[in-house]
Every structure is written in C-alpha cells, then in structure tokens.
Amino acid sequence: MEKKKVLLVDGMALLFRAFYATAVSNQFMYNEAGVPTNGVQGFVKHLLTAIDEHQSDYVGVCWDLGGGTFRNEMWGEYKAHRSAPPAELIPQFDYAKEIADALGFVNISCQGYEADDCLGTLADHYRHEGVHTTIVTGDKDILQLVDTDTDVWILQKGYGNYKKYDPITFVNEWEIQPKQLIDLKAFMGDTADGYPGVKGIGEKTATTLIKTYGDVKTVIDHVTELPKGQMTKIQTDLEMLKMSLQLAEIHIKVPITVNLADLFYRGFSEDSLGICDYYGLKVVRRELAKLLA
C-alpha cells in the first residue's frame, strides 16, 4: 500500500525568500490598511506551488518564534550578530501566520526551539505512523534529516524550482551520509549562526576527516594520528568543536504533538477568495482563482 504523504514547510524560509525577491526593487505591495504584503503573498504562492508539485495529502507550516532558543542558552553568540529585519518585513511575520490559519493551514511552533527542530520532530514522529515526509525549506541544515522516510526540497530561484534530496542524491553530492552533516558543520562552524567550529578547518578537510573516521567523536579519539597542523587546530578548539556539534544538530524531541489528521489538506473554496479580499492579497487571489477555475 502506498504511504500517506505529508508536506512540511519552513514558513520563515518561504517568507524571507519571497520578501527579499521583491524588496530589492521596492515592490512592497501595501494593502488598504498600509501593511506591506510582498513577503506574505510570495509565501502563500510558494506554499501553493509546493502543494501542487507534491500533491500533498497533509500540509503543515513550521515557524521560528522570537525570544531565543535553547541554543542561545548554550552559546550566547548563537545568531547574535544577524542584522535586524527590515521595517517592511516585521509586520508580515504575524500576518503570514494569520493568513495561513485563515486559509486552513496549521501553524506549528514551540517556544525555545527553531522551526527546524519542529520539522525534525514531526518527521520523526510521522515515520512511526508509516508516513512519508517532504520538507520544503531554503536552509541546507535540514538536509541532516534526509532518510528513506524523509525527502528535503531546497528552494531555488523563482517559484516551483527545488533541489530535491533523498538519501541517494544527498550522498552523490556530499559524499557523506545525511546525519554526518552534523559532524561536518561542527568542524566548519557556521558564520550565519555565529559559531566558529574549529578555526582553520574548512569543508574539504572536514569532509576528509568524516569520510576517514566517521564522526567527530572518533576523530577526537584518534586526534594524535592526524597531521600535526590538524591535530593542533582540533586540540586548541576542542571545547568549541564539542559545543558546535550540539548546536548543529536538529533537536527531534520538541514537546509538540500534531496529529496527522489535523494537517489534512482540504483544498480551497470560494471562501478563500473572500479571505484574500479581506487581507488585500491581490496576487494570491489571482492564483487561487486559477486553481478554482
């Protein structure tokens, strides 16, 4: 029997991508209330496009929340140096969730955790129910979740363009297993997330170490076998390496429960057009009108 399919999307990734794609030319598309809608409308268009491509049975939207996460408690510099979002984007964070809810989608988040953690937790939960999960995001960190029950689609430029990963395509490109992406990031660090890993070890060296030893722990156990330069770098930044390993791993035990039935995708109706009119979403209304036709 064919498995049920659930589509989980990183709402913040879709919203940011849509916003910056149009903000570069100042296409903010304000509604009658004076709220910019460029990001929100692009977010919904991305969502509709992914649903059409995936032919989803069930759909959920995961979000980051403000106020920091457990990673900030572990490492104070975690994402600390990211610039503040543009003024035109700020009101669209809550607006996007409100509109997603009005259109019948379930918004999923948990204080103290990132959207990635929610995505990972749900994918892990649904696999035990015999469900296949596809995750749509712009963040390659989520690729560590790829397995026989979980595909990841990375957004590319435009709508409906994805780089699709399953275990085979991942290994062919990265030359390591998906779970080893955690170890790779631990060595390399992540400048966007604000942790350095091991200074002086880049992707090429880190990949070689992982292919040779398997994981960070085994490299540490055999550190004296390494060339002197690599050994010194790892020993110097040993504590940061261990910390980075924890920061890089997606947490799959977030205290959330979302029954699969709650995510059932019911499609759209004429009422959806009224919702678009209410929120001033002219672009989305045109897309939905095409679907309903």
125-152 confidence digits (pLDDT tens) = 999 999 999 999 999 999 999 999 999 9
The pLDDT value given to residue 160: 93
pLDDT tens digits, 222-247: 999 999 999 999 999 999 999 999 99
Whether 293 shows a pLDDT value over 90: the answer reads no
Candidates 270, 293, 286, 290; CA nearest to 103 is: 270
User: CATH fold of 4-174+250-292, please?
Assistant: Rossmann fold (3.40.50)
The pLDDT value given to residue 269: 83
Neighbours of 222 (CB within 10 A): 13
CA distance 126 to 138: 22
Mean pLDDT of the chain: 94
CA distance 119 to 91: 24
Residue 233, classified by CB atoms within 10 Å of its CB into exposed (0-12), middle (13-18) or buried (19+), is buried
CA distance 147 to 52: 23
CA distance 7 to 265: 10
User: CATH fold of 178-248, please?
Assistant: DNA polymerase; domain 1 (1.10.150)
CA distance 152 to 169: 11
Average pLDDT over residues 81-86: 88
Domain edges within the chain: 4-174+250-292, 178-248
Average pLDDT over residues 179-195: 95
Whether 262 shows a pLDDT value over 80: the answer reads yes
Cα-to-chain-centroid distance, residue 38: 20
| Banded pLDDT at 1 (limits 50, 70, 90) | low
